[in-house]
Amino acid sequence: MVRWAYRILLWLGFPLIWLYLLKRSKKQPAYRQFWAERLGYYSVGITNKGLQDNTQKPIWLHAVSVGEMRACAPIIQALRIAAPHRPLLLTCMTPTGRETAQALFGDFATIVYLPYDYPAAIRRFLQHFRPQCGVVMETEIWPNLLHESAAAKVPLVLANARLSAASFRAYQRISALIAPAMAKWSLVLAQAPADAERLAALGAPAPKVMGSVKFDHSNDAAIVARGQAWRAALLQQSNRPLVLLASSREGEEAAFLAQWQSVYAQTAAPLLIIVPRHPQRFDAVADLIRSHGLALQRRSQWQEVVAADVILGDSMGEMAAWFAASDVCIMGGSLLPFGSQNFIEACAQGCPVLLGPHTFNFAAATEAALAEGAAWQGQNLVEIMDKMQQLLLDQTARQQMSVAGVQFSNAHRGATARLVRELAIYL
């Protein structure tokens, strides 16, 4: 009965989905593409690049957008070794996720959108690609996807799973819908014990704690070297410290710039680098920076000499370079209640990390990073900028945080290997 009510709501919301896509496409034209795939209609087949046997069923991995897709990289690398005979199918939900997948894995994988959670659309997807098994990253709980996959005898694994306390409470309110769906997972691999407990309480069968695969991510050495070269050039030009606001979300830049200009109203400011989380906001953030009377240099219009107060990192795939270039990183998504963006990569690069109060998407990693001295957390921008100034004046303290960050990152590696061992029976 509850599933039928859910289906009715989906169909009632059908026009709203297309209005949403149309609205998004005004700023991101890529949202106008591949609409048929969102209903389970595909013109492509599985790509068996480099494989001799074209009859093998693919391993299917789903990652909703950019961050989850990047987190897939160590898993995909390990799966290609563990099951070299099987092709790979990658699905996502956003154009930026698709672009990231194409850039990272397009040489050997088939990349499409996962359809919306309509039963017939899910069935068409499963019938078209006939996956051997599915691996869903983090917290994607779609009732019809789970029920239809079980009916088609396609094992589904929830990997790198996390569930915040707030999300847990929200799912509890619709437990009559969620609990039967959660029971359909073949395997649930959680990041931390708290995640496993919450998932089990929602009905997941015996979740196992695996850690986070985000610790296993390896940066492209060429991109890191690019950032180190930027740093050398920028220091030669102005000899100013470099402060990074990484993966910032809407509203955070305005609050940060207001506090920044208050702090540096009477003294020379460091060079500020702002890298927004979403590319569709690049122009708006550029306008915001100019509205504060700050000289702006955009990465997309890079010049040999940067005579600017603020650099806007309006490019994709270069976050590792910005970490390598910077003295201190303030992590976006943590200043306002977005739950934080991934700071593990910054720690791995040895870039000291300052966090705001909102880190619920990385609760376990935050607790460990704070305990191990790899990050510092403030309750507001005043505290965060005070700590930033202290670090910029204290090279020894920065170096201690840098070393602690690398050690923290290395100490928590290994989730990918554990995950692939658990997946072996489905490959």
- The confidence score (pLDDT) of residue 23 equals 87
> Residues 38, 115: contact at Cβ < 8 Å?
yes
Among candidate residues 221, 223, 193, 230, the one with its CA nearest the CA of residue 208: 193
Distance, in Å, from the CA atom of 427 to the CA atom of 178, rounded to the nearest integer, reads: 27
> Residues 207, 196: contact at Cβ < 8 Å?
yes
- The confidence score (pLDDT) of residue 219 equals 82
Residue ranges covered by each domain of the chain: 24-212+413-426, 221-411
> Residues 195, 164: contact at Cβ < 8 Å?
no
414: region left, alpha or beta (phi > 0 left; psi from -120 to 50 alpha): left
Q: In what order do the strands lie in the sheet with 156-161?
A: 109-113, 88-92, 59-62, 133-137, 156-161, 187-190, 208-209
The residues annotated with a catalytic role in the active site are 68
The dihedral through the CA atoms of 54, 59, 65, 67 has a sign that is negative
Asked if the domains at 24-212+413-426 and 221-411 fall in one CATH topology, the answer is: yes
Tokens describing residue 424: 């072996």
pTM, two decimals, is 0.88
End-to-end CA distance of the chain: 35
- The confidence score (pLDDT) of residue 351 equals 97
> Residues 159, 75: contact at Cβ < 8 Å?
yes
Per-run averaged pLDDT (10 residues), the chain, 427 residues: 87 88 85 90 74 77 90 92 93 93 92 96 95 93 96 97 92 94 97 95 95 89 93 90 98 98 93 95 96 94 79 93 97 97 95 97 94 97 97 97 97 94 93
CATH topology of domain 221-411: Rossmann fold (3.40.50)
Q: 24-212+413-426 is classed in which CATH architecture?
A: 3-Layer(aba) Sandwich (3.40)
